[in-house]
Structure 1
Amino acid sequence: MRVGEALLKSGDIGQEDLDRALGIQKIWGSPIGTILMAQGIINGQQLARVLSEQSGLPYRNLVEEPPDPEAVSLGVRGVGEDFLRRRQMVPCEVGEGGVLGVALVNPEDREGLEELARRLGCPVEPFVTSDRDLYFALDRSFRKRYVDESVMGLFFRTPEESALVTFSGGQILFLGALVSLLAAAFWRDPTRTGTALFVAVNAFYLVSILFKLAASLQGARYEIQEQVSDEEVAALREEDLPVYTLLLPLYREPGVVPKLVEGIRNLDYPASRLDVKVLLEEDDPQTLQAFREARPPANFQIVRVPRSVPTTKPKACNYGLLFAKGEYLTIYDAEDVPERDQLKKAVAAFRKGPPELVCIQAALNYYNSEQNFLTRMFTLEYSYWFDYMLPGIEALRLPIPLGGTSNHFRTRVLRELGGWDPFNVTEDADLGVRAGAHRYRVATLNSTTYEEANSRLGNWLRQRSRWIKGYMQTYLVHMRHPLRLYRRIGGRAFWGFQLLIGGTCVTFLVNPLLWGLFLLWLTLRPEALSLLFPPGVFAMSTFCLVVGNALAIHLNMLAVFRRKLFRLTPYALLNPIYWLLHSLAAYKALWQLFTKPFYWEKTTHGLG
C-alpha cells in the first residue's frame, strides 16, 4: 500500500487532501508524505507511523522513550556524532546478544545501517522515528557538544579568525608604539605634529569618500554576472530544485510571528523542499508560544538554542547550521519580507556561477520608508549601499561585507568556513571578508528583501552602534596578520578592505572633530588653531568639508534612481545630520569595544 493510501486508510487525511497532494506531486516531484507535511495536513509522527507499517519495522517515539546513553556512546565511539546526525539515526538501546537498536527517519537507508553495523562490528535492529523525535534525541544526547561547537568551533579551528580576543598581542604592541611615537613627536614639535596628523586624517577622509564614489559609479555602470532574469527563473524545473534551509533567528519577538510564517509560506518554492529552522533561545517562552499558536506546517522545525554566553544571533545560527539539511541555506530576520522568487533566483545564480561562488547577497530595503525622518534616511542609505555600492565592490573584486539577512550560501562551504563568529556582533560582514580571504567569491543578486527600518532614535542608535562595533571587530580580526592578508587577497582587495571596513569606522569617528575644528577656526579664528591651517592645509580642509560632503550627498541622491524613490531626493541634503548620528553611534561602539565587545544590542522590531 502506498503512503498516501495508508494515510487515507488510517484517517489521517481525507480523499480531497490526497487528490490535492497528488496533483502537487506532479509539479514538485517530492514524496507524497513530505508534501502533506509541508502543506500542514499531517505531522512527522503520523508519517513515521505509516512508514513503520509499510516497512514492517517497529515505530519508536524517542520523546517518550529516550535513547539509552550507553547505546548512544557505543554508536559515537564507532561512527562519530556527525555520521549519526547526517544519516538521521541514533542508537537507542542495546538488546540481547549485543544487538544495537537504531532509530532512523528513513527506513530505506540500508546503506547507513550497513555502514553502522560494519564499523561497530555488531548486528543492528532498526526502528522508525520522526524527524522531530530524532532532533530531540540528538539534542538531548549531544547538547553540550553542540553548544561548544556553536560557541567555540571557529576559535578552536582557526583562533586568529575569531573575535573572542579583541586585540592580539601584536596589535597591542603596535598601538602602544604608535601612541608613544605620537606623544614623543608632540613633545618635540606640537605644531608640526598636529598639522601633519590633521593633514593625514583629512587625506584619508577624502580618499575614503572618493573610493566610495568610484565603487558606486562602477556599480551603476556594470551588470553583475550572477544577476538572474525572469526567463532563467521560469526555466527552472521545480522537481529538480534542491532542498533549501531557511534559518529564522528570533528573540522575544512574538508579535512578528504570524507575518513571518505567512511570508515564508508565500515563497515561490516547493514547500516540500524547504527546511525551515526557527531558532529560539530557551529563555524565550513568549515567542515559542506564538509559534505554537500560529500552527506552521511540519516543515517548520523549532530549534531551542541552549542558554549560554554569548547570547548572539550568530551563535543561534551556528546551532541551527548543525541541523541544516539543505544544499543551500539563507537567513531571514523576524520582520523580513523577501520577494517571492528570491530562492529560485539564488539557485539559478549558483548554478550559473563559478565553483568558488560561496555566497549571494540579495538587496535589502524598507517597506516603511515614509514613516519619519529616520526611516527615510535609512531607505536612502540602504538603496545606495545595496543597489550601487555592493555591486560596485563586486565588480572591482573586493571583499563584500554581507548584510545581516538574505545572504544565500552553499551549505557545505559555509560549514567549511566555520560558520559565523558568535563573538563578532556583525557576523555577516566578518563572514563575507573571511570568505574572500579564503579565495571564495561573494556576489550580489537582483532580488530584494524588505525589512522594517528603525523609526525610533534610541533603537536606531543601539542597532547602529552594534554594526559599527562589529566593523571594528572585523577590522581587528583580519588585520592580525596584515602581510598574510595582503598575500592571500592581493593588493587591490587589501586596500579596498582598509577603506571599506577601516575607513568607515575612522570616517564616523573623525567626522565631528574635523567639522568642529574647521568651523571653529573659520568663525572665531582662535590663535591656537591658526598654526594648524596654513594655506595648503586650509585648501585641503575646505575641499574635504565642501566637496567631500557634496560628493557624499550626491551618492545618496544617486540612490533613488533604480527604485524610483524620487520623493526622497530632498532628504539627501540632510545627510550631515544623519552622519552626526552615525558619529554618536561610533563613539558608543568604540567605548563598548573596550568595555563589552560581545554585547549584542537588541533591536526591537514591529514598530513600523
Structure 2
Amino acid sequence: MQPLSPSDLALGDLLVARRVLNLQQLDEAVGLAEAWHVRLGDAILSRAWIEPAVYYQAVAYHYELPFVDLIGDAPDPSLLAADEAELYARRLTMPWRIRDGRLVIATAEPGPGVVLFARRRWGNAIEFVVASKFDIVWAVQTVFADALSHRAVYELAELDPDMSAQQVFSPVQVLFGYGVATCLLVGLALAPIATLVAVNLILSLFYLGNFLFKGVLVSVGGARSVDRDEAIAIAARALSDDDLPVFTVLVPMYREPKMLPMLARSLRQLDYPLGKLDIKLVLEADDHETIEVASTLGLEGIFEVIRVPPSHPQTKPKACNFALQFARGEFLVIYDAEDRPEPDQLRKVVATFRQAPANTACLQCRLSYFNARENWLTRMFTLDYALWFDQMLPGLERLNVPIPLGGTSNHFKIDVLRELHAWDPFNVTEDADLGVRLTQKGYRVGVVDSTTFEEASCHAGNWIRQRSRWMKGYMQTFLVHTRRPLHLLRSIGPLGFLGFVFFIGGTVLAGLINPVFWLMFAIWLFGLANGFDQLFPEPLLYLSLFNLLAGNGAFIFLNMLAPIRRGWLNLIPYSLTAFGYWVMISIASYRGLWQLLRNPFYWEKTDHGVSKHVVRELALGRETTT
C-alpha cells in the first residue's frame, strides 16, 4: 500500500473544507488511492460523488492556478500540432494560449511531473492553467477531428497496403481467378466429364481435410491443461491492486442508448481498481440520442465519451482506431454494449500476460450467451460458440495456428496494437483479420479461461445479417492474406498456412458449396436423375458418401461434446438439428458473397437489446429508478 503524497492529502482536506466531499467519502477515497497506488483524484473520480468540473476547480485552487473551461474558451489551434494529438490526450496536457510572451499550458494533472514534462517539451517560458480531463479530450477531438479521422481510416492502407482490405481483389488475384475460370470452361468444352470429376475430387478432398483438421483441433483443444488454467486463476487472485496496470476499455456503440445503464453496471462489477480503468464509450458523432443518454447518466469519471467524426466506411474498426488515439492504458480490451465479462477477467489477463512468452500480443477470452435457452436459434448459436471458443481456439493456440479473434473480449498490448496500425476499417471482421496479421508479424495470440457473456441473436433476420457480415469478413481476410501466399507460408509456417486455409477458407467454402452437394445427394438418393454415375467413380462415390455421412455426423458429435465442459447437458439433443442451422449459414454465406461484390465495406449492424431477457432486465431497471 502506497501512502499518499502531502499534496494529495492537502487536496483532500481542501475538498472537505469546501464541502465538495464529506469526511467519510474522503476516508474512502484515501483508502482506495493508497490500495490502488493511484492519485487521490483518480480514486475520487472513480466514484460518482461530485461533478468533475467542481473537482477540477478545487484542484486549480489547491495549486493556486486559474481554472479554464476549454469548451467555452477553446485552445488556440495555431499552437497545436496534429502529430502530437495522441500526446495531448495521453498526458492530459496541451498548449492553450500565448500570454505576455509565455506559453500557457492547460493540464488536468498539475504537479512536478507535468512541470518537468512541459519544460522538456516546450521550454521554460511557460505557465499553467487547470482544465478538466474531459475538456482536454474534447478539445483534441474537436481541433484534430479531420486528421485523427483520416488516420483512423487510412493508416493501415497507407503504411502497410498489402495488409489492408481497401483493395478487395488484387490484380494477381483477378488474373488467377480469370485463369481458373478459363481452364474450367475449356475443360468443360473439351472433356466435360473428366473436368467435373476432377472438380468433384478436389472439393471432396478439401471437405475431408476440413473435417480432419477441425477434429484434430477439438481433440487438441479439449486436452488443454486444467492445471494451467487453475494456476492462472491463483496468480490472478494473488495480484495486489497496486500491481495492476492501467487498463483501457473500448466500448463501440451505435444507436444503443438503452444498453448504457446495463453496460455501466457490468463494467463496475469488474474485480479491478476502478481508478485504473480508462473506459471509452466510442460513439458516432451523429448518434445524438446515445450521446445525450451518456451525458445524463451521471457516470463516474472513469467513463469518457469519444465522438467519432462522420466518414466512410462507417465501421466498428474505424471507430476503435479513432478511440485508440486517446487510450492511456498498458493493455486494451474491446467489449460490446451488451457484454457481461466475468468479474476476474482483467486480472486473469494481466496474470497470463506476465507468465506468457514476451511475443504474446493478444489474449482472447471465451464468448458465450446469457440467453442460450431463449429459443432454438439461441441454443444452436450457443452450441456453435461452445465448439468454437471452448474447443477449437484452444486447439489453434496449442498448434500455433493463427487465431481469428472474435469481435469482443480481445485483450491487447497497446504498444503492439499501435505498431501494427491497429484494426483494418475496411474489413468487417476486423478482429479475425488482426489475429492473422499478428501471427504474420511474429506475435503470438493466446486464449484465457475466462468467459464474456453476450446476447445471442434470437431472430432469424438479425442472425442472418450478423452471420453474413462475418462470412463476408472471412472472405476479405482470406483474400488479403493470400495475396502473397509464399510470404504467408514463410511467416506462419506450413501448419499455420494449412490451418489458415482450412479454418478461414474452409469455413467460407463449406458454407458456399454445401447446398450444391446437398442438392446432388437428394437428387441421387431419390433417383430423380441418372447422370451422376459418371461424375462419381466408385472410389470418389465412397469418399463423397463418407464426407456427407461420417463427416457431417462427426460434426454433429462434436456439437454434442461442446456443451459438456460447461455442464449444459440439456443443449445436447439440439445438436441433432444442426442441419437446419447449417442451411442458415449457407444462406448467410451467399448473402455475404453478394455484398462482397456489391458493397464490400458495408457494416450491417446487429440489433442488441431485443432478447426477452434484456427487455425484462431493462424494465426492472426502470422500475427501480422510479
TM-score, length-scaled by structure 2:
0.94
Q: CA deviation at 1:54?
A: 2.5
- The aligned residue for residue 136 of structure 1 is 138
Q: Does 1:116 align with 2:121?
A: yes
Structure 2 Cα separation of the partners of residues 554 and 492 of structure 1: 25
The structure 2 residue matched to 1:234, chosen from 237, 251, 254, is 237
Q: CA deviation at 1:293?
A: 3.4
Q: Is the 8 A contact 2:16 2:26 kept in 1?
A: yes
- The aligned residue for residue 32 of structure 1 is 40
Q: Does 1:53 align with 2:61?
A: yes
Q: CA deviation at 1:53?
A: 2.2
Structure 1 Cα separation of the partners of residues 20 and 589 of structure 2: 57
| 2:597 alignment partner AA | F
Q: Does 1:189 align with 2:191?
A: yes
Instruction: Please list the CA deviations of residues 142-170 of structure 1 after superposition, one character each: whole Å capped at 9, or x if unmatched.
Output: 11111001111111110111111100111
Structure 2 Cα separation of the partners of residues 16 and 222 of structure 1: 48
- The aligned residue for residue 450 of structure 1 is 453
- The aligned residue for residue 225 of structure 2 is 223
The structure 2 residue matched to 1:5, chosen from 6, 10, 13, is 13
Q: CA deviation at 1:11?
A: 1.8
Instruction: Please list the CA deviations of residues 11-38 of structure 1 after superposition, one character each: whole Å capped at 9, or x if unmatched.
Output: 2111221122223334223222211110
Structure 1 Cα separation of the partners of residues 87 and 393 of structure 2: 39
Q: CA deviation at 1:461?
A: 0.1
Structure 2 Cα separation of the partners of residues 477 and 469 of structure 1: 12
Q: Does 1:472 align with 2:480?
A: no
Q: CA deviation at 1:582?
A: 0.2
- Displacement over 4 Å in runs of 4+: 224-228
- The aligned residue for residue 49 of structure 2 is 41
Query: More deviation in 481-490 or 101-110?
Result: 101-110
Instruction: Please list the CA deviations of residues 486-508 of structure 1 after superposition, one character each: whole Å capped at 9, or x if unmatched.
Output: 11111110111001101110011
Structure 2 Cα separation of the partners of residues 4 and 421 of structure 1: 45
Q: Is the 8 A contact 1:244 1:326 kept in 2?
A: yes
The structure 2 residue matched to 1:282, chosen from 277, 285, 293, is 285
Q: CA deviation at 1:227?
A: 6.8
Instruction: Please list the CA deviations of residues 378-431 of structure 1 after superposition, one character each: whole Å capped at 9, or x if unmatched.
Output: 011111111110001100000000011001111111111111111100001001
Structure 1 Cα separation of the partners of residues 51 and 301 of structure 2: 5
Unaligned runs of 5+ in 2: 1-8, 612-626
The structure 1 residue matched to 2:265, chosen from 262, 273, 287, is 262
The structure 2 residue matched to 1:64, chosen from 65, 72, 75, is 72
Structure 1 Cα separation of the partners of residues 366 and 257 of structure 2: 26
Query: More deviation in 537-546 or 216-225?
Result: 216-225
Matches within 5 A, 1:121-520: 123-223=125-225, 228-520=231-523
Q: Is the 8 A contact 1:247 1:329 kept in 2?
A: yes
Q: CA deviation at 1:525?
A: 5.4
Query: More deviation in 172-181 or 5-14?
Result: 5-14
Q: CA deviation at 1:130?
A: 1.4
Instruction: Please list the CA deviations of residues 97-147 of structure 1 after superposition, one character each: whole Å capped at 9, or x if unmatched.
Output: 3x21121222221222112224xxx72222221111111111111111110
TM-score, length-scaled by structure 1:
0.96
Structure 2 Cα separation of the partners of residues 20 and 89 of structure 1: 28
Q: Does 1:89 align with 2:93?
A: yes
Q: CA deviation at 1:518?
A: 2.0
Q: CA deviation at 1:202?
A: 1.2
Q: Is the 8 A contact 1:194 1:532 kept in 2?
A: yes
| 1:554 alignment partner AA | F
Structure 2 Cα separation of the partners of residues 38 and 151 of structure 1: 32
The structure 2 residue matched to 1:23, chosen from 31, 37, 41, is 31
Q: CA deviation at 1:450?
A: 0.5
Q: Is the 8 A contact 1:226 1:444 kept in 2?
A: no
Q: Is the 8 A contact 1:227 1:445 kept in 2?
A: no
Q: CA deviation at 1:604?
A: 0.5
- The aligned residue for residue 539 of structure 2 is 536
What's the C-alpha RMSD, in Å, of the aligned pairs? 1.5
Q: 1:417 to 1:26 in 2, by over 3 A?
A: same
SS at match of 2:281: strand
SS at match of 2:526: helix
Q: CA deviation at 1:586?
A: 0.2
| 1:422 alignment partner AA | P
Structure 2 Cα separation of the partners of residues 596 and 31 of structure 1: 49
Query: More deviation in 220-229 or 463-472?
Result: 220-229
Structure 2 Cα separation of the partners of residues 80 and 135 of structure 1: 13
| 2:35 alignment partner AA | I
Q: Is the 8 A contact 1:257 1:291 kept in 2?
A: yes
| 2:138 alignment partner AA | F
| 1:315 alignment partner AA | K
Q: CA deviation at 1:230?
A: 3.1
Structure 2 Cα separation of the partners of residues 442 and 513 of structure 1: 36
Query: More deviation in 207-216 or 102-111?
Result: 102-111
Instruction: Please list the CA deviations of residues 327-366 of structure 1 after superposition, one character each: whole Å capped at 9, or x if unmatched.
Output: 0110110111110000101010111111101010010001
Q: Does 1:560 align with 2:558?
A: no
Structure 1 Cα separation of the partners of residues 293 and 91 of structure 2: 31
Structure 1 Cα separation of the partners of residues 407 and 224 of structure 2: 24
Unaligned runs of 5+ in 1: none
- The aligned residue for residue 5 of structure 2 is none
| 2:373 alignment partner AA | E
Aligned residues with identical type, % of pairs: 42
Q: CA deviation at 1:226?
A: 7.1
| 2:94 alignment partner AA | V
Q: Is the 8 A contact 1:305 1:319 kept in 2?
A: yes
Query: More deviation in 85-94 or 499-508?
Result: 85-94
Instruction: Please list the CA deviations of residues 419-474 of structure 1 after superposition, one character each: whole Å capped at 9, or x if unmatched.
Output: 11111000010010000010100000110000111100000000000000000000
Structure 1 Cα separation of the partners of residues 184 and 96 of structure 2: 66
| 1:363 alignment partner AA | R
Structure 1 Cα separation of the partners of residues 382 and 229 of structure 2: 24
| 1:112 alignment partner AA | F
- The aligned residue for residue 624 of structure 2 is none
Q: Is the 8 A contact 1:243 1:327 kept in 2?
A: yes
| 1:88 alignment partner AA | L
Instruction: Please list the CA deviations of residues 551-586 of structure 1 after superposition, one character each: whole Å capped at 9, or x if unmatched.
Output: 110110110111011101111111111101100000
| 1:12 alignment partner AA | V
Q: Is the 8 A contact 2:86 2:326 kept in 1?
A: no
